[in-house]
Every structure is written in structure tokens, then in C-alpha cells.
Amino acid sequence: MKVLYVCTELYPLLKTGGLADVSAALPAALQAAGCHVRLLLPAFAAIAAGVRADAPALPLPDVGGPEVLRTLQQAPMLVPGHVIGTGQRVYLLDAPALYQREGGPYQDAAGQDWRDNAARFALLSWAAAALGHGADPHWQPDLVHAHDWHAGLTPLYLKLLANDRPATPSVFTIHNLAYQGLFPAGSCAELGLPEALFNIDGLEYHGLLSFMKAGLQFADAITTVSPRYAQEITTAEQGCGLDGALRARQDRLSGILNGVDYELWNPATDPLLKAHFDVKRMRGKASAKRTLQRLLGLEERADALLFAAVTRLTEQKGLHLVPPILPDLIERGGQLVILGDGDTAIETALREALACHPGQAVLRIGYDEALAHRIIAGADVILVPSRFEPCGLTQMYGLRYGALPLVHAVGGLADTVTDCSLDAIDDASASGFVFHDFSSDALRGAMRRAFALRRRPADWNAVQGHAMQQRFDWQEPAQAYRALYQRLLVPAGTSAPPVPA
């Protein structure tokens, strides 16, 4: 079974969030499950630097596709190659005018969305559809798996390119429904999309064109990254205005929990740690805590309950709930470390709050992969108080490293963390602290339960030991995706709406 996997990030070459981690691990797990997987990626500078070409570049068909195919001075090309170090086979979409820029993959250096993002990512979807229908004479996928809004037009372009032939089947995975790829209504013509599709049953979203909605409407199967989130996004509360479209295609929607690459996230072997540990040898955990305290200028107190967050600083991630509870946390003998960046107002509020507690609380702005590993290894409690969370990987990393997750009961957080209630402690299923109301008061309650458990060393050690033995390997989700692919390759109808000529 040949699968084309379409995405925009790949760890360690380019990472802005969990999508990069998934794109590094899931294709390898699919390979192990018997799929022949190739990735399609934009040739961003960071990605291109980690890929070696191994075959002549391929042209893209330009009839009917986005206008940018015909307006770029240098024609976009597909470059077959492999990732240096892993050997993963890839295609790079080479269009320097679109992808070789100063700034990030989606925003410029000032943090503003690139004005031509519609064209940049429509071209990615067009390239995926072209490969799906034979642009590479030596390798044609049986199925195309597109990820998030950046690749959301892929299922539609596959159907448009098919004309009267059967379209190559497609799977569309939602990593975060809140980011939808919204563009002006007039974009249809420049993207080579039929104007007749700009309606409530097609691509229209409150007067705008939605790449995310295109994926939902035209994919043969829709997945998201946890079972709980698959249910939540069909509700008005978490459906981001697309709950109606998702309910209409609920028979094609499923949730497959993400996994963790335990070769990268293993405290017993992690090369980014000075001291290693595992569930049977915990001395290195204490050493990691001392090292972290020293590194960040915190008081070196073994008895301090060290809370940490490694996250984007956005309203979704819930860190704005932290300042009201911080005095209580410090008064009880706790410490707090936050690593992340994002919303300026949230950054400012956190900086001001943490500055009131020198030696006990510290904020590091930015993202540093090595520091992230050291924080999770040194922390006693990992904070993930998200308003919504499709899956979340940080809480899974925390479990493995003995940093008990403190989470809001949503999405993948609810699927992976069991609260330290008395009955859960009694039956040895407890693995963290869970709160249900999205409020500082509810967060404070969970924080106080963490202190209460720490005052009972035997129970703390038992919960920590159980947490560290949890496994969320990629083998199980890979098998679930493989089974889904196989169902799609059996001839059957599609519930996707017809595509006008």
C-alpha cells in the first residue's frame, strides 16, 4: 500500500508545534506496519537543508490549477529525495519565491500572516493531487493523507484532477480545528476552484473561503488526533463554527490518538539530559531537578514542588489562568517554570506575575528543544490547562518523565490522564490531576491536590511509578490508520458532495 503523506513540518528540520513530531513518527510507524510512505513538504529553507535529492525534478501540471503555477518566474517543481539521517523518502515542493523567505513558515518576521498564504498552500495541495494522479511516473500512491488546513484543498483537487475517472482516495486529519485557513471569497478563481463550490455546503465559511472546510467536505475519511476530540468538535462549544459540517459527515469521522516517539522521549537514554533515570532508578530525576533549578536561577530546594509548562502562550493553552493562583502556589512552597511564546498580552501578564517571586518562578520566552526536555525531566508536575486540546503531547512526555500532568478534562488530555481521586489511587489507575471547569479556581483546586498528594510520599511514588509505565506508542495508531486506508481502498461510494465541472 503506497501512501502520500502531505504536511508542512517535520521534526527536527522544522517545528512550530506537535504536527512536526507527528510527521516524524507516524510515517515511520506506518512503514513498519507495511505501508510505503512518502512525504510531500514545501521546500522551506530549514526542510530543504535536511533533504538530499536523489532523482530528477518533476514538473507540475498547470491546467486548471492555482494561478500561481503560471505567474511565478521559476516554475514550481517536485524534487524527489530523502531525509538525511533517517532515509525517509520525500518530495519537496520547490518554489523559492513562495517558500524561501525570512521569517516563519506561516508568518513573516513581524508575526503577520504571509499575504499570499492562500496561493502558497493551495500549491501544496495541488502538488499532492498531481502526485495522486501520476505526476511521478515511477511512484503513484494508492491513497493521499493530508494534514491540517495547509493541505485542506488536497481532497478537492484530487477530485477535480480526476475528471470522470475515480479519484485517488483521501484522508484528512484535523490537528487543530481552530486554525482554519480562511481567505477572501474572491480567492476561488485564483486558486482554480469552481465558483459553484462557494456555498454553505462547499467551501464558504461566514463569507470567507475555508481550506479546513474543504478538507472536511471532500475527504473520503476525516480523522482527528484523539477519540474525545472527535466527539467534541461535533458540538457547538468546540466545533469552531464547523460542527454542522462535521455532524453531516460524522459517519466518516474518527479519532485516533497520537503516539509518542519513545526513542526521542526516554529519560533513561535522553542525550539532552545530564543524568538519566527510569521508574526503577529515580535518583537521576532528583538530579535533573537540581540541575534545572540551578540553570534557571531558582532556589535549589529538593522539597519545592516544581510545576512547569512548555507551551505556546495562547488563550487556547490556558496559561492566563495561572497568575491568579501563583501566590497560593508559592506560599505552599511550590516553584514554577514556563517556557513558551505567543500572545503578547499573555506574555506580559505572566512576566509581571512571575517577576514578583524571584528565585521561585521564572519565564523563558521562545522555544528551545533541549531546555524543553530538561524542564520536563526536572519538573514534579507538568501544567497543561488548555481550554481545548485535540491531543496534546506534553502530558504524554510528562508521564514518561515522572512529571505528573495537571490537565483540563478535554480532548486528548482527558483520554490520557486519570485524576488522583481516592478510588483511582486505590485501584492504581491514577496518573495526574484533572480539573473540569475552565477557571483559575478549578485550576487552583487541582494544584492543591498536587500538594496534598506530595505530602503522602508513598501514594506520590505509586502514582508517579504508574504514570511512568504508561505507553502511547505509535504502533497502535499506525495500525488504526492502516486499517482505515484498507477500508477506503475497497470500492465503495463516497458521501462527499459532487464537484461541479
Number of separate domains in the chain: 2
Report the mean per-residue pLDDT for the chain: 95
Nearest to 42 by CA among 78, 93, 82: 93
What is the structure's pLDDT at 164? 79
Q: How confident is residue 17, by pLDDT bands cut at 50, 70 and 90?
A: confident
| Residue of 14, 17, 23, 107 whose CA lies nearest to 340 | 17
For residue range 81-103, list pLDDT tens digits in order.
Answer: 999 999 999 999 999 999 999 98
Segment 116-172, tens digit of pLDDT: 999 999 999 999 999 999 999 999 999 999 999 999 999 999 999 998 788 999 999
* Residue 487 per-residue DSSP state: H
State whether 303 and 360 are in the same domain.
yes
Answer yes or no: is 481 within a domain. Answer: no
Q: Based on the domain organization, do 417 and 305 belong to the same domain? A: yes
Q: What share of the chain is helix, strand, coil (3-state, %, to 5)?
A: 40, 20, 40
340 part of a folded domain: yes
Nearest to 182 by CA among 198, 196, 194, 169: 198
Same domain (yes/no): 138, 203: yes
Taking the C-alpha atoms of residue 190 and residue 167, their distance in angstroms, rounded to an integer, is: 23
Alpha helical stretches, state H, 33-153: 45-48, 68-71, 96-99, 117-132
Q: How confident is the model at residue 18 (pLDDT cuts 50, 70, 90)?
A: confident
The predicted pLDDT at position 500 comes to 52
Residue 485 falls within a domain, yes or no? Answer: no
Q: What is the CATH number of the domain that holds 116?
A: 3.40.50.2000
Angular region, 256: left φ>0, alpha ψ -120 to 50, beta rest: beta
Q: In a 3-state reduction of DSSP, which class is residue 9?
A: coil
For residue 221, give every residue at least 6 positions away whose Cβ sits within 8 Å of its Cβ, in sequence order, or none.
Answer: 169, 170, 171, 172, 252, 254, 484, 487, 488
Domain that holds residue 218: 2-259
Report the pLDDT value the prediction gives residue 495, as an integer from 0 to 100.
47
Q: Are residues 244 and 308 in the same domain?
A: no
Asked whether 221 and 212 are in contact (CB, 8 A), the reply is no
pLDDT digits (tens, 9 = 90+) for 283-329: 999 999 999 999 999 999 999 999 999 999 999 999 999 999 999 99
